[in-house]
Amino acid sequence: MADDDLKKTFVMKGIGVSPGIVIGKAYLFDRLDAQVPFYKLSDPGLVTGEIRRFRKALRESEKQLLELKNRLGDLGGGMEPLYIIDVHIMIMRDRKFIDLTLQNIREMCVNAEWAVRMTVDKYREIFDRMEDDYLRGRISDIQYAGQRILANLVGKERAAIELGEGIVIIAADLSPADTAQLKIDKVLGFATDIGGKTSHTAIIARSIAIPAVVGMENITRAVRTNDEIIIDGSAGVAIVHPDPEVRKRYEEKKRLYEKAQDDLLDYAGLPAVTKDHYRVEIGGNIEFIEEIPSAILHGADGIGLYRTEFIYINRERLPDEEDHLAHYRSVVGVKGLSWATIRTFDLGGDKFFPDMKPSRELNPQLGLRAIRFCLKEVELFKIQLRAILRASVQGKLRIMFPMISGIEEIRAAKRIFTDVKNELLARGTELGTEIEIGIMIEVPSAVIIAEELAKEVDFFSIGTNDLIQYVLAIDRINERVTYLYEPLHPAVLRLIKQVVDIGHRAGIRVAMCGEMAGEPAYTMILLGLGLDELSMNPLAIPRVKKIIRGATLKESKTLLNKVMTFSSTTEIRAFVEAAMRKRFPEEFLANGQ
Amino acid sequence: MIEARTFEITNRLGIHARVAAKIVETAHRFQAEITLEKDGVEVNGRSILGILTLYCPQGSRLTIRVEGVDAEEAIAAFARLIEEKFGET
């Protein structure tokens, strides 16, 4: 294999879902080696030790396989599995395999784990080029042998992945549990094969402010661990093996981008008021309590959406009331934030639950999730509600139920809420006085019966991610239809308008907490729609504030009225983009958006 | 002593892991140096990964070169193995 060919610069395109530019080393993530530490050796003197560890792991792996073979042999049961074990032993004894790994340790100066990983990756690349499906699939035997060696290298005590500095994670997709396992603070960026603007990878990347590009189709095949890689999350590209000139250009771009970010921070502390004195409240969407400082720094007035899923994910056992309470106490009544909106359990769908094994659903987005699950598992629901209520004593609290599709669901949820509240009061628990109940408006049926729903609650919060996918019938993680995911679809805009108008007629507050709320190109449209609160990823706040402060409510309404006369998304998009470019040339030309 | 023969791989799945393992096992029974060649690429007959990366689906033409005191027996053993389609279909 000619290594020189592989070092050629190449560019891959996808969907930029979290802005920014980073330059780092690729790290191919797959779940199997999620427990393995990879690092560069700090001193060449450590090479000998790593070689010794590798050889020892080889011996142990082989011994285990021989034992396994003997055990299986004693059991009888045909020759097939024994053959596979022989294959794995042969791979571990293969001179090329061993030499390549030793060479990686010596020349790349990496630990044995990383060296094994690079060897397996190298073979994977060779196999990926094979046309015959069956033979190409034999890479699995090499991967298996590699995993066995890694397991022996690592031992069993590690829990989280340890990464070296400056790593860009390359993966097919990242689930909530995957990201929870990563030491995220060391990660520079993400690039994934699948996903769209609202996939988990995208949300996480934005929440921790690192660039991400998704929907790259086959980046996991094209890139190997330790390849140099640039991720431009604004433009949606990854550049692998950048030549020195490209690299230099990107270092400059990175510097400019970061400077622009700093400039924007000037807007963070200012209120979101239009030139004609119309005030919009700005919420921050968070899923970790660790994000609260960032929400405050970027100028959130309150927490508009606290996703509670991570309290459940990646734990040994189900969280109890005290586990919940510890989280909610950090969110409610925080200095510098006026309110906290906590969304109850929204698992199911593309999220998952390690403890309980829900029956496999073919269509989880339409399955037993969110409020449906809560109303079925009432005791679980009550644990969460009790903890939320107990935290209410600290400050202004909004409780939000997700995925309400009919009046029965909100009534049932409220009944359970009242039961829990009464139990707590009977016990003498002190509760807050400012508790509001609201629902996510994300199922189309909820829009249609919004008038009735408005009588039941104190506020609505429009969850555009789900609303758009349900209304337009798009599977939002299927990259073949992401082109249809369109917040400016006339149907979407009309539904939002309907919800805001009905809510205001009923005298309740209407917020928006989907990704749409944080997209500056839509800010004037949303102003025109009259939303009371826009809740978004904290990083998006300064830019949205800049638009709000530069615009008037009057011109926003004019823009919206014009937009509502168009019948196609294409016209709307063209019109809105042109209008925003004209109105805010700096914002919409500089970053190529 | 040097022996070399070219074979066509006729079993349906070609040289996959299990077949490669049989080739390695056979190679280990002899003292001779054993080299497999396809399309100008040569690999060591005792390296399972070498053999797999040679990429021999059904219909491939594979040349086996054997060099050593027991070359004649070795090449005969390989000929038998391949003619029997490695015990497959």
> What does pTM read for this prediction?
0.58
Tell which wins on pLDDT, A320 or A294: A320
Q: Average pLDDT for residues A512-528, to the nearest whole number?
A: 95
- A135–B55 CB contact, under 8 Å: yes
Same domain, A347 and A216: no
B2-87 folds as Histidine-containing Protein; Chain: A; (3.30.1340)
Strand, helix or coil for residue A24: strand
Q: Average pLDDT for residues A491-500, to the nearest whole number?
A: 98
Pairwise CA distance, residues A54 & A62, whole Å? 12
Pairwise CA distance, residues A437 & A417, whole Å? 10
Going by the DSSP 8-state scheme, the letter that residue A521 receives in this structure is G
Same domain, A461 and A322: yes
Same domain, A98 and A229: no
Q: Of A108, A123, A154, which residue constitutes the final position of a domain?
A: A154
- A138–B16 CB contact, under 8 Å: yes
- Helices A47-75 & A112-128, crossing angle to 10 degrees? 60
- The per-residue pLDDT of chain A, averaged, comes to 87
Q: Which domain holds residue A538?
A: 272-590
Chain B hits for A86, CB-CB cut-off 8 Å, are 21, 25
User: Considering its fold, how many domains does chain A have in total?
Assistant: 3
Digit-coded pLDDT (tens) for A320-365: 999 999 999 999 999 999 999 999 998 764 444 544 545 566 777 7
**B44, B50, B52: residue with CB nearest A138:** B52
Beta-sheet strand order (sheet of A228-232): A10-13, A237-240, A228-232, A21-28, A167-171, A187-192, A212-214, A15-18
Same domain, A112 and A205: no
Tell whether A197 is covered by a domain: yes
Pairwise CA distance, residues B53 & A372, whole Å? 52
Lowest mean pLDDT among A210-224, A408-422, A489-503, A541-555: A210-224
- B21–A127 CB contact, under 8 Å: no
Q: Give the model's pLDDT for residue A200.
A: 72
Q: Of A154, A182, A204, which residue constitutes the final position of a domain?
A: A154
Same domain, A375 and A233: no
CATH of the domain at A120: 1.10.274.10
Residue B16 distance to chain A (closest CA, Å): 6
Which class for A585: exposed (0-12), middle (13-18), buried (19 or more C-beta within 10 A)?
exposed
Pairwise CA distance, residues A38 & A113, whole Å? 6
Give me the percent of chain A exceeding a pLDDT of 70: 88
Identify the residue among B28, B35, B49, B88 best suited for mutation to test binding to A, counting A beta carbons within 10 A and taking the highest.
B49
What number of other Cβ atoms are within 10 A of residue A549's Cβ? 14
Low-confidence ranges of chain B (pLDDT < 50): none
Same domain, A129 and A250: no
Same domain, A213 and A337: no
Tell whether A32 is covered by a domain: no
Lowest mean pLDDT among A179-193, A217-231, B63-77: A179-193
Give me the percent of chain A exceeding a pLDDT of 90: 53
Active site residue A200: yes
- Residue B49 sits at the chain A interface (C-beta within 8 Å): yes
Identify the residue among A132, A140, A149 best suited for mutation to test binding to B, counting B beta carbons within 10 A and taking the highest.
A132
Same domain, A190 and A72: no
CB B74 within 8 A of CB A149: no
DSSP A52-102: HHHHHHHHHHHHHHHHHHHHHHHH---SHHHHHHHHHHHHHH-HHHHHHHH
Q: Of A135, A154, A173, which residue constitutes the final position of a domain?
A: A154
- Residue A134 sits at the chain B interface (C-beta within 8 Å): yes
Same domain, A377 and A322: yes
B49: left (phi over 0), alpha (psi -120 to 50) or beta: alpha
Pairwise CA distance, residues B43 & B50, whole Å? 5
Digit-coded pLDDT (tens) for A430-461: 999 999 999 999 999 999 999 999 999 999 99
Same domain, A252 and A287: no
CATH of the domain at A429: 3.20.20.60
Which tokens belong to A103? 């060479």
CATH of the domain at A212: 3.50.30.10
Which tokens belong to A471? 């209304």
- Which B residues 67-86 touch A at CB under 8 Å? none
- A90–B48 CB contact, under 8 Å: yes
Kindly name the residue from B5, B16, B22, B85 that is annotated as catalytic.
Answer: B16
β-bridge mates for residue A24, sequence order: A229
With CA atoms as reference, report the closest residue to A313 among A176, A205, A200.
A176
- Residue A95 sits at the chain B interface (C-beta within 8 Å): yes
Q: Give the model's pLDDT for residue A74.
A: 65
Which tokens belong to A35? 């427990």
Q: Average pLDDT for residues A245-271, to the nearest whole number?
A: 82
Same domain, A149 and A239: no
Whether the complex's predicted ipTM surpasses the cut of 0.95: no
Q: Give the model's pLDDT for residue A73.
A: 67
Which tokens belong to A98? 């061993």
- Residue A86 sits at the chain B interface (C-beta within 8 Å): yes
Q: Is the pLDDT of residue A544 over 90?
A: yes
Confidence of residue A161 (pLDDT cuts 50, 70, 90): low
CB A189 within 8 A of CB A205: yes
Same domain, A142 and A243: no
Residue A80 distance to chain B (closest CA, Å): 9
Tell whether A264 is covered by a domain: no
